[in-house]
Amino acid sequence: MRCAPCASAGKISVVNRPSQIPPGGRPLSPAEYARLVEEMTDLVESSHLFKSLDEAGRGRVLESGYVTTFRAGDVIVRQDDPGDSMFLILDGKVKVETQTPNGLVQLAELGKSACVGEVSLLTGEARTATVTALADVDAVAFARHRIERVLADYPKVAELLQTLVERRARDTIEKIIG
């Protein structure tokens, strides 16, 4: 499989993908790729998570992703399932909930530019929450093995992701406790 090149950026080259895109996924179209490069630049400027990636790192992350679509009501990730991917929301809105001994707790509603699924991807633990599409969602999915390759070359980003995981854990605990 090949990742579609970005016509406008021109700096990120086409690469061969060593593994297949899962059923239901597809490579980024040239227009989506161009839009994602533009959005990623905006994300980098405003996101604590991606600040440490240089242009080559952003290119590697983008080239490792694939687009997947979820319909309103679809479960994107399910609590307690293994976490082998994370998602960057391109369009749409999701709700994040966790089941506790005292019942279901809604943790967040997230939209464009939000990342979901990164906690279990980084920790290797089971999913800590269920993420459900509230509206149709287009997302870029990133498989664990691809993200791990980038993190190995960008330890600062790995540290930032760990900080994000810790912050989300604190927020979850606060919401559960009330």
Residue at 54 is within a domain: no
Residue at 59 is within a domain: no
Residue at 1 is within a domain: no
Residue at 25 is within a domain: no
Which CATH number covers residue 156? 2.60.120.10
Question: In which domain, by residue range, is 133 found?
Answer: 68-177
pLDDT given for residue 17 in this prediction:
40
pLDDT given for residue 94 in this prediction:
98
How many other CB atoms are there within 10 angstroms of residue 120's CB atom? 23
The DSSP 8-state label assigned to residue 101 in this structure reads T
pLDDT given for residue 16 in this prediction:
38
Residues of the chain with pLDDT under 70: 1-20, 22, 40-52, 178
Residue at 115 is within a domain: yes
- C-alpha dihedral sign at 142, 1, 23, 111: positive
Strands 115-116 and 85-91: antiparallel
Structure tokens at 137: 């969602």
pTM of the model: 0.71
pLDDT given for residue 111 in this prediction:
92
Strands 75-77 and 130-133: antiparallel
Residue type, 20: Q
Helices (H), the chain: 30-46, 55-64, 118-123, 144-153, 155-177
Residue at 48 is within a domain: no
Residue at 150 is within a domain: yes
The number of folded domains in the chain is 1
